[in-house]
Amino acid sequence: MRRTLLISTLVVAVGWALPAAASAALTATQIRIGNHPAFVRVVVDVSGGTLHANDVDSPDPSPFDGRARVRVTDAGISTSATAAAQEGVAARIVQRSGAIVLRLVSRKHRFKYLEHGVLHSPERLVVDLWKSRPPTTKAELPTAPQGGCLSIENSDTFPGRVRADGTEKGLFEHMFQMDIRNRAGRVVGIRSVTATAGHWHRRVFYDVAVSQKGTIEVVDFSEQDGSLTCIAQIPTSLVPAP
């Protein structure tokens, strides 16, 4: 009888514990914004569980028009975070059914790419908005910070064209693109690239009306949502073609 009572008590205790565990859900608690040489970082602090990278996607991964969005999908997820505005970026979280959406607004053409990821202990969503204009010295990245997936080892800029080469590691089908951007951050030359045995080389033609600073970049994007996954960039001087 005593043994039966003990078992019954354990069953009741487990029954009470299960709903509590099942009701645990992620909550976005705070938005933080900070400036870095190559990008502005937006961080969303999360509590109540583990944030998984495959729960995050971007319905609008192109911030060049001044707007972008990142979505976190998880049953029961909610937000108590207030909107934030700093470093020229306004960020707020919108509640959706089974999801939250981080909406980002900035000046048009200030940012060229959106990159997102998650960090743990503590849990947080990290969104980097990459600056469009030619990189400063501290923002020069001849080797991609995303684990060295791309690099620019050599480059030569001529009137109306750029020649460059470098390395590639682990990209899907070893394919990516090479862009030339003008001083305002607009793309003035672009070409697809396929690496062979971990190396690549490419010539890209560009169009500018006057001599100016520019950017040489090689980039790759997510197959899932088109957000940035890899970038190497260096400054250059662009000269009009004769």
pLDDT of residue 240: 98
% of the chain exceeding 70 in pLDDT: 90
The lowest-confidence range among 17-26, 37-46, 158-167, 223-232 is: 17-26
- Per-residue confidence band for 15, with pLDDT thresholds at 50, 70 and 90: very low
pLDDT > 70? residue 48: yes
Predicted confidence (pLDDT) per residue in 121-164, tens digit:
999 999 999 999 999 999 999 999 999 999 999 999 999 999 99
pLDDT of residue 2: 41
**Confidence (pTM):** 0.89
- Per-residue confidence band for 18, with pLDDT thresholds at 50, 70 and 90: very low
Give me the amino acid identity at 230: C
Mean pLDDT score, 231-237: 98
Mean pLDDT score, 84-99: 97
- Per-residue confidence band for 19, with pLDDT thresholds at 50, 70 and 90: very low
3-state secondary structure the chain: CHHHHHHHHHHHHHHHHHHHHHHCCCEEEEEEEEECCCEEEEEEEEECCCCCHHHEEEEECCHHHCEEEEEEECCCCEECCCCEEECCEEEEEEEECCEEEEEEEECCCCEEEEEEEEECCCCEEEEEEEECCCCCHHHCECECCCCCCEEEEEEEEECCEEEEEEEECCCHHHEEEEEEECCCCCEEEEEEEECECCEEEEEEECCCCCCEEEEEEEEEECCCCCCEEEEEEEEEEECCCC
- Per-residue confidence band for 20, with pLDDT thresholds at 50, 70 and 90: very low
